[in-house]
Structure 1
Amino acid sequence: MTERIIPVDVVGPIALDLTMNTGSIRVVVDPALKQARMVLTTEATSGPSADAIRNTTVSLNGQNLGVRVPDVAGGMNGSTTIRMGGGTMTFSGGNGVQIVNGNVHITGHGGGKVFVNGREVTSTGPAGDAATPIEAVVHLPARSVATISTYSANTVVTGTLARLEYVGTSGTLTAERTGDLDATVTSGSVVVGEVTGPLDINLTSGNVNVGAYSGHNARLNLTSGNVRMAATPQSTGRLSVNATSGSARITGAGHLNVRRRVTSGHVQIA
Protein backbone atom coordinates (compact mmCIF):
# COMPACT_ATOMS: atom_id res chain seq x y z
CA MET A 1 0.00 0.00 0.00
CA THR A 2 1.09 3.58 -0.69
CA GLU A 3 0.05 6.23 1.82
CA ARG A 4 0.73 9.94 1.96
CA ILE A 5 -0.30 12.14 4.87
CA ILE A 6 -0.98 15.76 3.84
CA PRO A 7 0.10 18.08 6.69
CA VAL A 8 -2.33 20.86 7.65
CA ASP A 9 -0.44 23.04 10.12
CA VAL A 10 -3.28 25.41 11.02
CA VAL A 11 -5.94 25.26 13.72
CA GLY A 12 -9.64 25.78 13.06
CA PRO A 13 -11.87 25.59 9.99
CA ILE A 14 -10.25 25.53 6.55
CA ALA A 15 -11.24 26.10 2.94
CA LEU A 16 -10.40 22.90 1.06
CA ASP A 17 -9.89 23.03 -2.72
CA LEU A 18 -9.46 19.46 -3.96
CA THR A 19 -9.05 18.34 -7.57
CA MET A 20 -9.04 14.57 -8.03
CA ASN A 21 -10.45 13.10 -11.22
CA THR A 22 -10.81 9.41 -10.33
CA GLY A 23 -10.97 7.15 -7.29
CA SER A 24 -12.96 7.96 -4.17
CA ILE A 25 -13.20 11.00 -1.89
CA ARG A 26 -14.44 10.93 1.69
CA VAL A 27 -14.89 14.15 3.67
CA VAL A 28 -15.74 13.95 7.37
CA VAL A 29 -16.70 17.12 9.27
CA ASP A 30 -16.12 16.65 13.01
CA PRO A 31 -17.22 19.44 15.42
CA ALA A 32 -14.76 18.13 18.04
CA LEU A 33 -11.79 18.31 15.66
CA LYS A 34 -9.39 21.24 16.11
CA GLN A 35 -7.08 20.66 13.15
CA ALA A 36 -7.78 19.26 9.68
CA ARG A 37 -6.00 16.17 8.42
CA MET A 38 -5.87 14.43 5.04
CA VAL A 39 -4.56 11.09 3.79
CA LEU A 40 -4.15 9.70 0.26
CA THR A 41 -3.89 5.92 -0.15
CA THR A 42 -3.84 3.27 -2.86
CA GLU A 43 -3.38 -0.48 -2.71
CA ALA A 44 -0.32 -0.55 -4.98
CA THR A 45 3.21 0.11 -3.76
CA SER A 46 4.42 1.11 -7.23
CA GLY A 47 2.99 2.04 -10.59
CA PRO A 48 0.87 4.93 -11.89
CA SER A 49 -1.39 5.32 -8.85
CA ALA A 50 1.49 5.34 -6.38
CA ASP A 51 3.27 7.86 -8.62
CA ALA A 52 0.17 10.06 -8.70
CA ILE A 53 0.07 10.16 -4.89
CA ARG A 54 3.77 11.04 -4.68
CA ASN A 55 3.33 13.77 -7.33
CA THR A 56 0.27 15.34 -5.71
CA THR A 57 0.76 19.08 -5.26
CA VAL A 58 -0.24 20.76 -2.00
CA SER A 59 -0.47 24.43 -1.10
CA LEU A 60 -1.42 25.93 2.25
CA ASN A 61 -2.02 29.68 2.42
CA GLY A 62 -3.49 30.69 5.74
CA GLN A 63 -6.68 28.65 6.14
CA ASN A 64 -6.79 27.74 2.42
CA LEU A 65 -5.66 24.23 1.54
CA GLY A 66 -5.25 23.36 -2.15
CA VAL A 67 -4.66 19.75 -3.21
CA ARG A 68 -4.25 18.61 -6.82
CA VAL A 69 -3.98 14.87 -7.44
CA PRO A 70 -2.58 14.35 -10.96
CA ASP A 71 -4.38 12.08 -13.39
CA VAL A 72 -3.32 8.46 -13.19
CA ALA A 73 -1.48 7.25 -16.30
CA GLY A 74 -3.79 4.90 -18.12
CA GLY A 75 -6.80 6.29 -16.25
CA MET A 76 -10.27 6.93 -17.59
CA ASN A 77 -10.30 10.66 -18.28
CA GLY A 78 -11.71 11.82 -21.58
CA SER A 79 -13.97 8.78 -21.64
CA THR A 80 -17.58 8.02 -22.52
CA THR A 81 -19.74 6.26 -19.94
CA ILE A 82 -22.93 4.33 -20.70
CA ARG A 83 -25.23 3.51 -17.78
CA MET A 84 -27.48 0.45 -18.04
CA GLY A 85 -29.44 -1.40 -15.38
CA GLY A 86 -27.49 0.07 -12.47
CA GLY A 87 -24.09 -0.70 -14.06
CA THR A 88 -21.70 1.28 -16.22
CA MET A 89 -19.55 0.71 -19.30
CA THR A 90 -16.75 3.22 -19.94
CA PHE A 91 -14.84 3.63 -23.21
CA SER A 92 -11.58 5.60 -23.36
CA GLY A 93 -8.70 5.97 -25.77
CA GLY A 94 -8.21 4.66 -29.27
CA ASN A 95 -9.55 1.61 -31.13
CA GLY A 96 -12.03 -0.46 -29.17
CA VAL A 97 -13.67 -3.74 -28.11
CA GLN A 98 -15.32 -6.45 -30.21
CA ILE A 99 -17.41 -9.37 -28.93
CA VAL A 100 -17.48 -12.17 -31.53
CA ASN A 101 -19.03 -15.57 -30.78
CA GLY A 102 -18.59 -14.96 -27.06
CA ASN A 103 -14.91 -14.00 -27.36
CA VAL A 104 -13.72 -10.52 -26.34
CA HIS A 105 -11.14 -8.87 -28.62
CA ILE A 106 -9.49 -5.70 -27.32
CA THR A 107 -7.37 -3.39 -29.47
CA GLY A 108 -5.77 -0.10 -28.54
CA HIS A 109 -2.62 1.84 -27.90
CA GLY A 110 -2.36 0.23 -24.46
CA GLY A 111 -1.67 -3.15 -26.07
CA GLY A 112 -5.09 -4.71 -25.51
CA LYS A 113 -4.58 -5.40 -21.80
CA VAL A 114 -7.36 -6.54 -19.47
CA PHE A 115 -7.77 -5.12 -15.96
CA VAL A 116 -10.01 -6.39 -13.16
CA ASN A 117 -10.41 -4.09 -10.12
CA GLY A 118 -7.38 -2.14 -11.26
CA ARG A 119 -5.07 -5.14 -11.64
CA GLU A 120 -3.82 -6.42 -14.99
CA VAL A 121 -5.00 -9.95 -15.77
CA THR A 122 -3.02 -12.35 -17.96
CA SER A 123 -3.64 -15.97 -18.94
CA THR A 124 -1.83 -17.04 -15.77
CA GLY A 125 -3.47 -14.58 -13.39
CA PRO A 126 -2.97 -11.01 -12.09
CA ALA A 127 0.24 -9.24 -13.09
CA GLY A 128 1.81 -5.87 -13.70
CA ASP A 129 1.69 -2.43 -12.13
CA ALA A 130 -1.83 -1.43 -13.19
CA ALA A 131 -3.65 1.65 -11.99
CA THR A 132 -5.31 1.01 -8.62
CA PRO A 133 -7.99 3.27 -7.16
CA ILE A 134 -6.83 6.23 -5.07
CA GLU A 135 -8.77 7.14 -1.94
CA ALA A 136 -8.67 10.60 -0.35
CA VAL A 137 -9.90 10.87 3.23
CA VAL A 138 -10.23 14.38 4.67
CA HIS A 139 -11.22 15.23 8.24
CA LEU A 140 -12.34 18.85 8.70
CA PRO A 141 -13.25 20.97 11.73
CA ALA A 142 -16.70 22.53 11.95
CA ARG A 143 -17.47 25.60 9.77
CA SER A 144 -15.08 24.40 7.06
CA VAL A 145 -15.88 24.84 3.37
CA ALA A 146 -14.94 22.61 0.44
CA THR A 147 -14.53 22.91 -3.32
CA ILE A 148 -14.31 19.52 -5.03
CA SER A 149 -13.58 19.08 -8.74
CA THR A 150 -13.64 15.60 -10.21
CA TYR A 151 -14.25 13.61 -13.35
CA SER A 152 -15.58 10.32 -12.01
CA ALA A 153 -14.57 9.97 -8.36
CA ASN A 154 -17.32 8.97 -5.96
CA THR A 155 -17.57 11.55 -3.17
CA VAL A 156 -19.13 11.14 0.27
CA VAL A 157 -19.46 14.01 2.77
CA THR A 158 -20.56 13.30 6.35
CA GLY A 159 -21.27 16.04 8.86
CA THR A 160 -22.05 19.68 8.08
CA LEU A 161 -20.06 21.90 5.71
CA ALA A 162 -20.55 25.66 5.76
CA ARG A 163 -20.34 25.65 1.96
CA LEU A 164 -19.89 22.96 -0.69
CA GLU A 165 -18.92 23.70 -4.28
CA TYR A 166 -18.92 20.62 -6.49
CA VAL A 167 -17.98 20.18 -10.15
CA GLY A 168 -18.43 16.66 -11.47
CA THR A 169 -18.44 15.17 -14.95
CA SER A 170 -19.38 11.69 -13.81
CA GLY A 171 -19.51 9.80 -10.55
CA THR A 172 -21.64 10.46 -7.49
CA LEU A 173 -21.80 12.96 -4.65
CA THR A 174 -23.56 12.09 -1.41
CA ALA A 175 -23.59 14.74 1.33
CA GLU A 176 -25.44 14.90 4.63
CA ARG A 177 -25.78 18.63 5.23
CA THR A 178 -24.35 21.90 3.92
CA GLY A 179 -25.01 25.60 4.21
CA ASP A 180 -24.45 26.89 0.66
CA LEU A 181 -24.47 24.42 -2.22
CA ASP A 182 -23.14 25.20 -5.71
CA ALA A 183 -23.11 22.12 -7.95
CA THR A 184 -22.28 21.79 -11.64
CA VAL A 185 -23.07 18.30 -12.87
CA THR A 186 -22.48 17.06 -16.41
CA SER A 187 -23.43 13.47 -15.62
CA GLY A 188 -23.73 11.36 -12.54
CA SER A 189 -25.71 11.73 -9.35
CA VAL A 190 -25.88 14.27 -6.51
CA VAL A 191 -27.79 13.49 -3.32
CA VAL A 192 -27.77 16.04 -0.48
CA GLY A 193 -29.78 15.52 2.68
CA GLU A 194 -30.17 19.17 3.72
CA VAL A 195 -29.24 22.60 2.33
CA THR A 196 -29.67 25.59 4.65
CA GLY A 197 -28.18 28.38 2.51
CA PRO A 198 -28.27 29.57 -1.11
CA LEU A 199 -28.60 26.80 -3.68
CA ASP A 200 -27.24 26.90 -7.25
CA ILE A 201 -27.58 23.82 -9.46
CA ASN A 202 -26.39 23.54 -13.08
CA LEU A 203 -27.35 20.15 -14.47
CA THR A 204 -26.57 18.95 -17.98
CA SER A 205 -27.40 15.30 -17.38
CA GLY A 206 -27.82 12.97 -14.44
CA ASN A 207 -29.80 13.34 -11.24
CA VAL A 208 -29.90 15.78 -8.33
CA ASN A 209 -31.88 15.13 -5.14
CA VAL A 210 -32.10 17.61 -2.25
CA GLY A 211 -33.96 16.11 0.70
CA ALA A 212 -34.67 19.35 2.58
CA TYR A 213 -34.05 22.91 1.35
CA SER A 214 -34.40 25.71 3.91
CA GLY A 215 -32.27 28.42 2.28
CA HIS A 216 -33.21 31.88 1.04
CA ASN A 217 -32.35 31.77 -2.68
CA ALA A 218 -32.42 28.80 -5.07
CA ARG A 219 -31.57 28.57 -8.76
CA LEU A 220 -32.03 25.38 -10.79
CA ASN A 221 -30.74 25.33 -14.36
CA LEU A 222 -31.45 22.12 -16.31
CA THR A 223 -30.25 21.31 -19.79
CA SER A 224 -31.37 17.74 -19.23
CA GLY A 225 -31.58 15.34 -16.32
CA ASN A 226 -33.77 15.18 -13.25
CA VAL A 227 -34.02 17.32 -10.12
CA ARG A 228 -36.03 16.43 -7.02
CA MET A 229 -36.17 18.83 -4.09
CA ALA A 230 -38.32 19.34 -1.00
CA ALA A 231 -38.51 22.90 0.35
CA THR A 232 -39.18 23.35 4.06
CA PRO A 233 -41.34 26.05 5.71
CA GLN A 234 -38.07 27.74 6.77
CA SER A 235 -37.08 28.42 3.15
CA THR A 236 -37.55 31.99 1.92
CA GLY A 237 -36.92 34.20 -1.08
CA ARG A 238 -36.79 33.26 -4.75
CA LEU A 239 -36.90 29.89 -6.45
CA SER A 240 -35.79 30.15 -10.08
CA VAL A 241 -36.14 27.14 -12.41
CA ASN A 242 -34.85 27.21 -15.99
CA ALA A 243 -35.39 23.95 -17.90
CA THR A 244 -34.26 23.52 -21.49
CA SER A 245 -35.22 19.88 -21.14
CA GLY A 246 -35.38 17.35 -18.35
CA SER A 247 -37.59 17.10 -15.31
CA ALA A 248 -37.85 19.04 -12.06
CA ARG A 249 -40.19 18.29 -9.17
CA ILE A 250 -40.13 20.64 -6.18
CA THR A 251 -42.48 20.18 -3.24
CA GLY A 252 -43.28 22.49 -0.31
CA ALA A 253 -42.45 25.60 -2.39
CA GLY A 254 -45.87 27.25 -2.52
CA HIS A 255 -44.76 30.09 -0.24
CA LEU A 256 -41.67 30.99 -2.32
CA ASN A 257 -41.28 33.62 -5.02
CA VAL A 258 -41.23 31.23 -7.98
CA ARG A 259 -39.83 32.10 -11.39
CA ARG A 260 -39.86 29.41 -14.07
CA ARG A 261 -38.88 29.17 -17.73
CA VAL A 262 -39.46 25.91 -19.54
CA THR A 263 -38.37 25.27 -23.12
CA SER A 264 -38.94 21.54 -23.03
CA GLY A 265 -39.34 18.93 -20.36
CA HIS A 266 -41.49 18.91 -17.25
CA VAL A 267 -41.42 21.20 -14.21
CA GLN A 268 -43.75 20.61 -11.26
CA ILE A 269 -43.73 23.01 -8.32
CA ALA A 270 -46.14 22.50 -5.43
Structure 2
Amino acid sequence: MTKRTIPVDAFGPIALDLTMHTGTIHLAVDPALKQARVELTTDAESGPSADAIRDTDVSLTGQNLTVRVPDTAGATAGHTTVSFNGNTMTFSGGNGVRINGGNIYVSGHGRGKVFVNGREVTADGPAGHAVTPITLTAHLPTGSVALVSTHSAMTVVTGELARLDFDATSASLTAERIGDLDATITSGKVLVSDVTGSLAANLTSGYLAVGAYSGHDARLNLTSGQARMAATSKSSGRMAVGVTSGQAYITGAAHLNVRRRSTSGYVQVS
Protein backbone atom coordinates (compact mmCIF):
# COMPACT_ATOMS: atom_id res chain seq x y z
CA MET A 1 0.00 0.00 0.00
CA THR A 2 1.06 3.56 -0.70
CA LYS A 3 -0.18 6.29 1.64
CA ARG A 4 0.50 10.00 1.79
CA THR A 5 -0.82 12.35 4.46
CA ILE A 6 -0.86 16.07 3.69
CA PRO A 7 -1.20 18.33 6.75
CA VAL A 8 -2.77 21.74 6.18
CA ASP A 9 -0.93 24.58 7.90
CA ALA A 10 -4.09 26.62 8.47
CA PHE A 11 -6.68 26.59 11.24
CA GLY A 12 -10.43 26.70 10.73
CA PRO A 13 -12.52 26.28 7.58
CA ILE A 14 -10.74 26.00 4.24
CA ALA A 15 -11.63 26.29 0.55
CA LEU A 16 -10.56 23.07 -1.18
CA ASP A 17 -9.94 23.15 -4.95
CA LEU A 18 -9.54 19.50 -5.99
CA THR A 19 -8.92 17.92 -9.39
CA MET A 20 -8.89 14.12 -9.45
CA HIS A 21 -9.98 12.23 -12.55
CA THR A 22 -10.76 8.72 -11.24
CA GLY A 23 -10.93 6.77 -8.01
CA THR A 24 -12.79 7.68 -4.82
CA ILE A 25 -13.10 11.08 -3.15
CA HIS A 26 -14.32 11.39 0.43
CA LEU A 27 -14.98 14.82 1.92
CA ALA A 28 -15.46 14.31 5.65
CA VAL A 29 -16.64 17.37 7.59
CA ASP A 30 -15.98 17.07 11.32
CA PRO A 31 -17.32 19.73 13.78
CA ALA A 32 -14.58 18.81 16.27
CA LEU A 33 -11.76 19.25 13.74
CA LYS A 34 -9.69 22.45 13.98
CA GLN A 35 -7.22 21.81 11.18
CA ALA A 36 -7.78 20.11 7.83
CA ARG A 37 -5.70 17.28 6.41
CA VAL A 38 -5.73 15.26 3.20
CA GLU A 39 -4.89 11.56 2.84
CA LEU A 40 -4.21 9.65 -0.39
CA THR A 41 -3.99 5.85 -0.53
CA THR A 42 -3.76 3.06 -3.09
CA ASP A 43 -3.20 -0.69 -2.74
CA ALA A 44 -0.05 -0.71 -4.90
CA GLU A 45 3.41 0.00 -3.54
CA SER A 46 4.71 0.97 -6.96
CA GLY A 47 3.42 1.76 -10.43
CA PRO A 48 1.33 4.59 -11.92
CA SER A 49 -1.02 5.02 -8.96
CA ALA A 50 1.77 5.13 -6.37
CA ASP A 51 3.64 7.60 -8.59
CA ALA A 52 0.49 9.74 -8.92
CA ILE A 53 0.18 9.96 -5.15
CA ARG A 54 3.80 11.00 -4.76
CA ASP A 55 3.46 13.51 -7.63
CA THR A 56 0.22 15.07 -6.39
CA ASP A 57 0.66 18.85 -6.39
CA VAL A 58 -0.50 20.69 -3.26
CA SER A 59 -0.44 24.41 -2.57
CA LEU A 60 -1.88 26.53 0.23
CA THR A 61 -2.57 30.26 0.03
CA GLY A 62 -4.23 31.56 3.15
CA GLN A 63 -7.27 29.32 3.63
CA ASN A 64 -7.27 28.17 -0.02
CA LEU A 65 -5.97 24.64 -0.56
CA THR A 66 -5.34 23.42 -4.12
CA VAL A 67 -4.82 19.70 -4.80
CA ARG A 68 -4.07 18.27 -8.25
CA VAL A 69 -3.86 14.47 -8.54
CA PRO A 70 -2.21 13.35 -11.82
CA ASP A 71 -4.36 11.35 -14.22
CA THR A 72 -3.14 7.74 -14.19
CA ALA A 73 -4.96 6.52 -17.31
CA GLY A 74 -5.33 9.54 -19.56
CA ALA A 75 -9.03 9.81 -18.70
CA THR A 76 -9.53 13.23 -20.20
CA ALA A 77 -6.84 13.69 -22.82
CA GLY A 78 -8.48 14.28 -26.17
CA HIS A 79 -11.50 12.13 -25.43
CA THR A 80 -14.83 11.63 -27.13
CA THR A 81 -17.79 10.53 -25.03
CA VAL A 82 -20.88 8.81 -26.47
CA SER A 83 -23.96 8.65 -24.22
CA PHE A 84 -27.03 6.48 -24.62
CA ASN A 85 -29.70 5.22 -22.21
CA GLY A 86 -27.79 6.63 -19.24
CA ASN A 87 -24.57 4.79 -20.20
CA THR A 88 -21.36 6.22 -21.62
CA MET A 89 -18.45 5.09 -23.78
CA THR A 90 -15.31 7.22 -23.90
CA PHE A 91 -12.65 6.98 -26.62
CA SER A 92 -9.31 8.75 -26.29
CA GLY A 93 -5.91 8.83 -27.92
CA GLY A 94 -4.34 6.31 -30.28
CA ASN A 95 -6.38 4.64 -32.97
CA GLY A 96 -9.38 3.91 -30.76
CA VAL A 97 -11.66 1.05 -29.81
CA ARG A 98 -13.56 -1.38 -32.03
CA ILE A 99 -16.44 -3.59 -30.84
CA ASN A 100 -17.30 -6.58 -33.00
CA GLY A 101 -19.61 -9.43 -32.01
CA GLY A 102 -19.22 -8.68 -28.31
CA ASN A 103 -15.42 -8.61 -28.49
CA ILE A 104 -13.51 -5.40 -27.69
CA TYR A 105 -10.37 -4.57 -29.66
CA VAL A 106 -8.06 -1.81 -28.42
CA SER A 107 -5.50 -0.31 -30.77
CA GLY A 108 -3.18 2.63 -30.35
CA HIS A 109 0.35 3.90 -30.37
CA GLY A 110 2.70 1.71 -28.35
CA ARG A 111 0.11 -1.12 -27.92
CA GLY A 112 -3.23 -0.73 -26.21
CA LYS A 113 -4.16 -1.57 -22.65
CA VAL A 114 -7.47 -2.47 -21.02
CA PHE A 115 -8.58 -1.06 -17.67
CA VAL A 116 -11.59 -2.14 -15.61
CA ASN A 117 -12.50 0.14 -12.68
CA GLY A 118 -9.03 1.63 -12.81
CA ARG A 119 -7.18 -1.72 -12.78
CA GLU A 120 -5.23 -2.96 -15.79
CA VAL A 121 -6.46 -6.30 -17.10
CA THR A 122 -4.32 -6.47 -20.26
CA ALA A 123 -3.26 -10.07 -20.79
CA ASP A 124 0.46 -9.31 -21.06
CA GLY A 125 0.47 -6.17 -18.89
CA PRO A 126 3.24 -6.27 -16.25
CA ALA A 127 1.75 -6.57 -12.76
CA GLY A 128 4.06 -3.89 -11.42
CA HIS A 129 2.50 -1.35 -13.75
CA ALA A 130 -1.15 -2.02 -12.87
CA VAL A 131 -3.27 1.06 -12.22
CA THR A 132 -4.93 0.57 -8.85
CA PRO A 133 -7.72 2.90 -7.66
CA ILE A 134 -6.70 5.94 -5.61
CA THR A 135 -8.72 7.07 -2.61
CA LEU A 136 -8.49 10.67 -1.44
CA THR A 137 -9.96 11.59 1.94
CA ALA A 138 -10.14 15.26 2.92
CA HIS A 139 -10.87 15.85 6.60
CA LEU A 140 -12.44 19.31 6.80
CA PRO A 141 -13.49 21.61 9.65
CA THR A 142 -17.06 22.88 9.77
CA GLY A 143 -17.69 25.81 7.42
CA SER A 144 -15.37 24.50 4.70
CA VAL A 145 -16.23 24.72 1.00
CA ALA A 146 -15.04 22.63 -1.93
CA LEU A 147 -14.64 22.77 -5.71
CA VAL A 148 -14.33 19.27 -7.17
CA SER A 149 -13.48 18.57 -10.81
CA THR A 150 -13.46 14.92 -11.84
CA HIS A 151 -14.04 12.59 -14.75
CA SER A 152 -15.39 9.45 -13.14
CA ALA A 153 -14.47 9.46 -9.45
CA MET A 154 -17.06 8.39 -6.90
CA THR A 155 -17.45 11.32 -4.48
CA VAL A 156 -18.94 11.02 -1.00
CA VAL A 157 -19.62 13.89 1.41
CA THR A 158 -20.25 13.14 5.08
CA GLY A 159 -21.24 15.83 7.54
CA GLU A 160 -22.32 19.32 6.48
CA LEU A 161 -20.34 21.06 3.72
CA ALA A 162 -21.01 24.80 3.45
CA ARG A 163 -20.73 24.84 -0.36
CA LEU A 164 -19.85 22.40 -3.13
CA ASP A 165 -19.13 23.12 -6.80
CA PHE A 166 -19.11 19.74 -8.56
CA ASP A 167 -18.08 19.36 -12.22
CA ALA A 168 -18.04 15.78 -13.47
CA THR A 169 -18.43 13.36 -16.36
CA SER A 170 -19.64 9.81 -15.65
CA ALA A 171 -19.13 10.35 -11.92
CA SER A 172 -21.35 10.02 -8.87
CA LEU A 173 -21.90 12.27 -5.87
CA THR A 174 -23.51 11.16 -2.62
CA ALA A 175 -23.82 13.74 0.13
CA GLU A 176 -25.49 14.07 3.51
CA ARG A 177 -25.92 17.83 3.84
CA ILE A 178 -24.77 20.74 1.66
CA GLY A 179 -25.40 24.46 1.99
CA ASP A 180 -25.00 25.78 -1.57
CA LEU A 181 -24.71 23.22 -4.37
CA ASP A 182 -23.65 23.94 -7.96
CA ALA A 183 -23.43 20.72 -9.99
CA THR A 184 -22.65 20.19 -13.68
CA ILE A 185 -23.02 16.53 -14.61
CA THR A 186 -22.75 14.55 -17.85
CA SER A 187 -24.01 10.97 -17.56
CA GLY A 188 -23.50 10.98 -13.82
CA LYS A 189 -25.54 10.78 -10.65
CA VAL A 190 -26.09 13.20 -7.74
CA LEU A 191 -27.81 12.05 -4.55
CA VAL A 192 -28.06 14.63 -1.76
CA SER A 193 -30.06 14.15 1.42
CA ASP A 194 -30.36 17.85 2.30
CA VAL A 195 -29.66 21.15 0.51
CA THR A 196 -30.14 24.23 2.70
CA GLY A 197 -28.95 27.09 0.45
CA SER A 198 -28.98 27.79 -3.27
CA LEU A 199 -29.14 24.96 -5.80
CA ALA A 200 -27.94 25.05 -9.41
CA ALA A 201 -27.89 21.79 -11.35
CA ASN A 202 -27.11 21.23 -15.04
CA LEU A 203 -27.51 17.61 -16.11
CA THR A 204 -26.95 15.90 -19.44
CA SER A 205 -28.11 12.28 -19.34
CA GLY A 206 -27.67 12.42 -15.59
CA TYR A 207 -29.75 11.83 -12.48
CA LEU A 208 -30.36 14.19 -9.56
CA ALA A 209 -32.17 13.40 -6.32
CA VAL A 210 -32.53 15.83 -3.41
CA GLY A 211 -34.29 14.39 -0.37
CA ALA A 212 -35.02 17.73 1.30
CA TYR A 213 -34.57 21.18 -0.25
CA SER A 214 -34.95 24.10 2.17
CA GLY A 215 -33.05 26.75 0.21
CA HIS A 216 -34.01 30.09 -1.31
CA ASP A 217 -33.08 29.77 -5.01
CA ALA A 218 -33.17 26.65 -7.20
CA ARG A 219 -32.30 26.33 -10.89
CA LEU A 220 -32.55 22.95 -12.62
CA ASN A 221 -31.65 22.37 -16.28
CA LEU A 222 -31.95 18.85 -17.67
CA THR A 223 -31.14 17.38 -21.07
CA SER A 224 -32.16 13.73 -21.31
CA GLY A 225 -31.83 13.48 -17.56
CA GLN A 226 -34.09 13.00 -14.57
CA ALA A 227 -34.49 14.99 -11.35
CA ARG A 228 -36.46 14.27 -8.21
CA MET A 229 -36.61 16.81 -5.41
CA ALA A 230 -38.73 17.40 -2.32
CA ALA A 231 -39.01 21.01 -1.16
CA THR A 232 -39.67 21.63 2.53
CA SER A 233 -41.75 24.32 4.22
CA LYS A 234 -38.49 26.16 4.98
CA SER A 235 -37.75 26.68 1.29
CA SER A 236 -38.49 30.06 -0.26
CA GLY A 237 -37.97 32.25 -3.31
CA ARG A 238 -37.73 31.10 -6.92
CA MET A 239 -37.50 27.69 -8.48
CA ALA A 240 -36.76 27.48 -12.21
CA VAL A 241 -37.00 24.10 -13.94
CA GLY A 242 -36.00 23.59 -17.58
CA VAL A 243 -36.26 20.19 -19.26
CA THR A 244 -35.28 18.99 -22.75
CA SER A 245 -36.15 15.32 -23.33
CA GLY A 246 -35.94 14.75 -19.61
CA GLN A 247 -38.15 14.38 -16.57
CA ALA A 248 -38.44 16.44 -13.38
CA TYR A 249 -40.59 15.57 -10.38
CA ILE A 250 -40.80 18.26 -7.68
CA THR A 251 -42.93 17.94 -4.56
CA GLY A 252 -43.71 20.38 -1.74
CA ALA A 253 -43.14 23.40 -3.99
CA ALA A 254 -46.67 24.86 -4.14
CA HIS A 255 -45.62 27.87 -2.03
CA LEU A 256 -42.62 28.74 -4.25
CA ASN A 257 -42.38 31.01 -7.28
CA VAL A 258 -42.03 28.20 -9.83
CA ARG A 259 -41.07 28.77 -13.45
CA ARG A 260 -41.05 25.79 -15.76
CA ARG A 261 -39.97 25.13 -19.33
CA SER A 262 -40.27 21.84 -21.16
CA THR A 263 -39.16 20.81 -24.66
CA SER A 264 -40.06 17.20 -25.41
CA GLY A 265 -39.80 16.57 -21.70
CA TYR A 266 -41.99 16.33 -18.61
CA VAL A 267 -42.17 18.56 -15.53
CA GLN A 268 -44.39 17.75 -12.55
CA VAL A 269 -44.53 20.26 -9.69
CA SER A 270 -46.82 19.81 -6.70
Task: Give the distance between the partners of 2:240 and 2:254, measured in 1 at CA.
Answer: 13
Deviation at 1:89, TM superposition (A): 6.1
| 88 and 239 in structure 1: CA distance in 2 versus 1, 3 angstrom threshold | closer
Q: Which residue of 2 aligns with 1:152?
A: 152
Task: Give the distance between the partners of 2:174 and 2:139, measured in 1 at CA.
Answer: 16
Q: Alpha-carbon deviations, 1:147-204, whole Å to 9, x = none?
A: 1110110000010011111111111000000111111111210000000001111112
| 103 and 238 in structure 1: CA distance in 2 versus 1, 3 angstrom threshold | closer
Q: Give the letter for the 1:229 counterpart.
A: M
1:77-116 alignment, distance < 5 Å: 77=76, 78=79, 80=81, 91-93=91-93, 94-99=95-100, 105-115=105-115
| 152 and 193 in structure 1: CA distance in 2 versus 1, 3 angstrom threshold | same
Task: Give the distance between the partners of 1:238 and 1:98, measured in 2 at CA.
Answer: 47
Structural RMSD (CA): 2.3
Task: Give the distance between the partners of 2:138 and 2:238, measured in 1 at CA.
Answer: 34
Q: Alpha-carbon deviations, 1:24-68, whole Å to 9, x = none?
A: 101111111111111111222222222222221111111111111
Deviation at 1:140, TM superposition (A): 0.6
Task: Give the distance between the partners of 2:191 and 2:82, measured in 1 at CA.
Answer: 20
Q: Give the letter for the 2:208 counterpart.
A: V
Task: Give the distance between the partners of 1:113 and 1:253, measured in 2 at CA.
Answer: 50
Task: Give the distance between the partners of 1:31 and 1:181, measured in 2 at CA.
Answer: 20
Q: Give the letter for the 1:230 counterpart.
A: A
Q: Give the letter for the 2:75 counterpart.
A: M
Task: Indicate conservation of the 8 Å contact 2:145/2:162, yes or no.
Answer: yes
Q: Which residue of 2 aligns with 1:201?
A: 201
Task: Give the distance between the partners of 1:242 and 1:28, measured in 2 at CA.
Answer: 32
For the residue of structure 1 that corresponds to 2:11, the secondary structure is: coil
Q: Give the letter for the 2:46 counterpart.
A: S
Task: Give the distance between the partners of 1:138 and 1:80, measured in 2 at CA.
Answer: 29
Deviation at 1:212, TM superposition (A): 0.3
Q: Comparing 74-83 with 141-150, which one deviates more in the overlay?
A: 74-83
1:123-138 alignment, distance < 5 Å: 127-138=127-138
| 128 and 205 in structure 1: CA distance in 2 versus 1, 3 angstrom threshold | same
1:1-270 alignment, distance < 5 Å: 1-72=1-72, 74-77=73-76, 78=79, 80=81, 91-93=91-93, 94-99=95-100, 105-115=105-115, 118-122=119-123, 127-270=127-270
Q: Give the letter for the 1:41 counterpart.
A: T
Task: Give the distance between the partners of 1:112 and 1:98, measured in 2 at CA.
Answer: 14
For the residue of structure 2 that corresponds to 1:46, the secondary structure is: coil
Identity of paired residues, percent?
65
Task: Give the distance between the partners of 2:203 and 2:185, measured in 1 at CA.
Answer: 5
| 7 and 98 in structure 1: CA distance in 2 versus 1, 3 angstrom threshold | same
Task: Give the distance between the partners of 1:254 and 1:5, measured in 2 at CA.
Answer: 48
Task: Indicate conservation of the 8 Å contact 2:83/2:205, yes or no.
Answer: no
TM-score of the superposed pair, with normalisation by structure 1: 0.89
**Paired positions, count:** 266
Q: Give the letter for the 1:211 counterpart.
A: G
Task: Indicate conservation of the 8 Å contact 2:113/2:120, yes or no.
Answer: no
TM-score of the superposed pair, with normalisation by structure 2: 0.89
Task: Give the distance between the partners of 1:215 and 1:176, measured in 2 at CA.
Answer: 15
Deviation at 1:80, TM superposition (A): 3.5
Task: Indicate conservation of the 8 Å contact 1:48/1:131, yes or no.
Answer: yes
Task: Give the distance between the partners of 1:175 and 1:110, measured in 2 at CA.
Answer: 41
Task: Give the distance between the partners of 2:84 and 2:139, measured in 1 at CA.
Answer: 32
| 265 and 14 in structure 1: CA distance in 2 versus 1, 3 angstrom threshold | same
For the residue of structure 1 that corresponds to 2:53, the secondary structure is: helix
